Amino acid sequence: ALRNHMGWERAWASPEPKKKYDVIIVGAGGHGLATAYYLGKNFGITNVAVLEKGWLGGGNTGRNTTIIRSNYLQDASAAIYEKSRSLYETLSQDLNYNIMYSPRGVMMLAQTQHEVRGYERTAHANALQGVTTEFISPARVKELVPIINLEGPRYPVLGALWQARAGTARHDAVAWGYARACSAMGMDIIQKCEVTGISRDGGRVTGVSTNRGDIACDKLGIVVAGHSGHLADMAGFRLPIESVALQALVSEPIKPCMDVVVMANTVHGYMSQSDKGEMVIGGGADGYNNFTQRGSFHHIEETVRALVETFPMISRLKMLRQWGGIVDMTGDRSPILSKTPVEGVFINCGWGTGGFKAIPGSGWGFAELMAKGHSPLTSEFGLERFREGRFIDESVAAGVAH
């Protein structure tokens, strides 16, 4: 920076779009970039373009609170989230790029008897799934989080679901690391390139229209989170997805006081401390569908008010900044990784409030689905489950009120 960024190597190239690619991925968030990366790495498919209407990682991937865990309830979820968590463990080495994975541990507080039973059940399910979690006592919670108040007047802490190898990572670095690796494989990452139409011939995709011209492709992956409904509309099918704002905030930086992540789902709040010292705080999603990338103002007060009861020491902190993203919610709070009614078009969406943790696993499975037509990681997450009533209910594990 002192040299005015002169002489810095570009991490990825910014080419003009070619006329045609084997595969186009729409959306250069974590899931789109990871898909491209594993298409190249695992299947040798490198004639790939990733088209991004804004800047790379500027969607939810660069707006989330970076919690990584795999303590879900259903077997299909545990498989993809645990695959993802385990890929995160070595992602810095795989990409040769420091994504600052910090397995500091994540706890979900049980603050009602109902939650105690729910989390004990999850711990048993996780044991059967090979995911290491445990239900811990209030005394152990206090040991791990000395700043916590166990005796909340409304919601005392009765224990917690604890995953010691869960944690956080630097969200931008995940996008940048994948982008650099894709570019090094010869893929084109094209920013400021908005997809405005999807062309088909006889029920099969032939390409996309963009603000930088038409581009042909054999296969198309739609990976645009909160804008999935728009893209599905362009391709001529409908999705069971609702788009809604989810926001977060950080406090002014303070000295290290909490070295694990705490989620308090009954009161709709969660908190961790960033490497810079800011307390990273989030709450529930907006209660109505919208596309505002900031969220409703009253949520800030609601979230902080709820957390002050459990963490009285935050009451005097000042808020430093606040932001929001548009998350893509399904009815069962599980993602969609699927073929679609249009041949050659695949969709990866529905990660809602919890897809950062899933980026490597989702990319791995979705790349396999796009390359081979099926993947054991994605087979339960097809669109047809909504027609068949075969839901993968993760409304509790999602952890964020919606």
Write out the residues near ligand FAD by the rule CB under 6 A.
26-32, 51-54, 58-61, 63-67, 194-195, 223-225, 227, 246-248, 282, 324-325, 327, 351, 353-357
247 binds, among ligand PYC, ligand FAD, none (CB under 5 to 8 A by kind): ligand FAD
Q: Which of ligand FAD, ligand PYC, none does residue 83 bind (CB under 5 to 8 Å by kind)?
A: none
Name the residue number minimizing CB distance to ligand PYC: 354
What is the C-alpha separation between 219 and 208, in angstroms, rounded? 11
Measured at the CA of 42, the angle between CA 38 and CA 47, to 5 degrees, comes to 70
CA distance 106 to 167: 6
Q: Which of 51, 67, 193, 267 binds ligand PYC (CB under 6 A)?
A: 67
Cβ of residue 36: shortest distance to ligand PYC, in angstroms?
A: 23
d(CA 390, CA 108): 27
Strand boundaries in 129-268, DSSP class E = 134-136, 159-163, 167-168, 188-190, 195-201, 204-210, 213-222, 242-253, 261-264
Distance (Å, whole) CA 193 – CA 207: 14
User: Smallest distance from the beta carbon of 48 to ligand PYC, in angstroms?
Assistant: 28
When the beta carbons of 221 and 399 are compared against ligand PYC, the nearer one is 399
**Pick 217 or 261: Cβ nearer ligand PYC:** 261
Neighbouring residues of 255: CB distance < 8 A, sequence distance ≥ 6 = 277
218 Cβ contact list (under 8 Å, min separation 6): 21, 22, 23, 205, 344
Give me the amino acid identity at 258: M
Residue 53: which of ligand PYC, ligand FAD, none does it interact with, CB under 5 to 8 A by kind?
ligand FAD
227 binds, among ligand FAD, ligand PYC, none (CB under 5 to 8 A by kind): ligand FAD
Nearer to ligand FAD, 7 or 242 (CB): 242
How many residues make contact with ligand PYC (CB under 6 A)?
Answer: 9
* Between 69 and 171, CB nearer to ligand PYC: 69
| Strand partners of residue 396 | none
Tokens of 132: 């290491």
- 28: partner contacted, choices ligand FAD, ligand PYC, none (Cβ within 5-8 A by kind): ligand FAD
Q: Within 250-279, which residues bind ligand PYC (CB under 6 A)?
A: 270
Q: Is 400 in the site for ligand PYC (CB under 6 A)?
A: yes
Question: Which tokens in the block code for residue 174?
Answer: 């995940």
**Contact predicate 83/364, CB 8 Å:** yes
Give the end-to-end CA distance of the chain in Å, rounded to a whole number.
42
Phi, psi of 62 (to 5 degrees): -95, 10
Name the residue nearer to ligand PYC (CB basis): 39 or 280: 280
Cβ atoms < 10 Å from Cβ of 19: 9
Answer with the entry of ligand PYC, ligand FAD, none that 163 interacts with (C-beta below 5 to 8 A by kind): none
CB neighbours of residue 84 within 10 Å: 26
Q: Smaller CB distance to ligand FAD: residue 223 or 306?
A: 223
* Residue whose CB is less far from ligand FAD, 142 or 200: 200
What does 399 bind: ligand PYC, ligand FAD, none (CB cut-off 5 to 8 Å by kind)?
A: ligand PYC
Query: Exactly one of 282, 335, 344, 361 binds ligand PYC (CB under 6 A); which one?
Result: 282
Query: Is 354 among the residues that bind ligand PYC (CB under 6 A)?
Result: yes
Shortest Cβ 177–ligand FAD spacing (Å):
14
The reply on whether position 360 binds ligand PYC by CB under 6 A is no
Least separation, in Å, of the C-beta of 128 and ligand FAD? Answer: 23
Answer whether 101's CB lies under 8 Å from 169's CB: yes
Helix, strand or coil for residue 235?
helix
Q: Are 157 and 108 in contact (CB under 8 A)?
A: no
Applying CB under 6 A, which residues contact ligand PYC?
65, 67, 69, 270, 282, 353-354, 399-400
